[in-house]
Amino acid sequence: GGTTPGSAAWPAAKDAILVPIYLTQPTTVTRLYVVNGTSASGSMDIGLYTADGALITSSGSTAQSGTSAPQFFNIADITVPPGTYYLACSIDGTGGTVFRGNLSIIRLEELGCLKLTSAMPLPSSATFASVTSGLFPLMGLEVAPGTVY
pLDDT: which is higher, 4 or 66: 66
Strands (E), 1-104: 6-9, 16-23, 27-35, 43-50, 55-58, 62-63, 70-80, 83-91, 97-102
Reply yes or no on whether the pLDDT at 130 is more than 70.
yes
Reply yes or no on whether the pLDDT at 50 is more than 70.
yes
Tell me what percent of the residues of the chain surpass a pLDDT of 90: 93
User: To the nearest whole number, what is the mean pLDDT of the chain?
Assistant: 95
Rounded to two decimals, the pTM is: 0.94
pLDDT-derived band at 2 (thresholds 50, 70, 90) equals low
pLDDT on residue 5 = 86
Tell me what percent of the residues of the chain surpass a pLDDT of 70: 97
Residues 6+ apart with CB under 8 A from 40: 63, 64, 65, 66, 67, 96, 97
How far is 110 from 80, CA to CA, in rounded Å? 25
pLDDT on residue 3 = 67
pLDDT on residue 1 = 55
pLDDT on residue 146 = 77
Mean predicted confidence (pLDDT) in 112-129: 97
Distances in Å between the Cα of 52 and the Cα atoms of 78, 122, 128 are 18, 15, 9
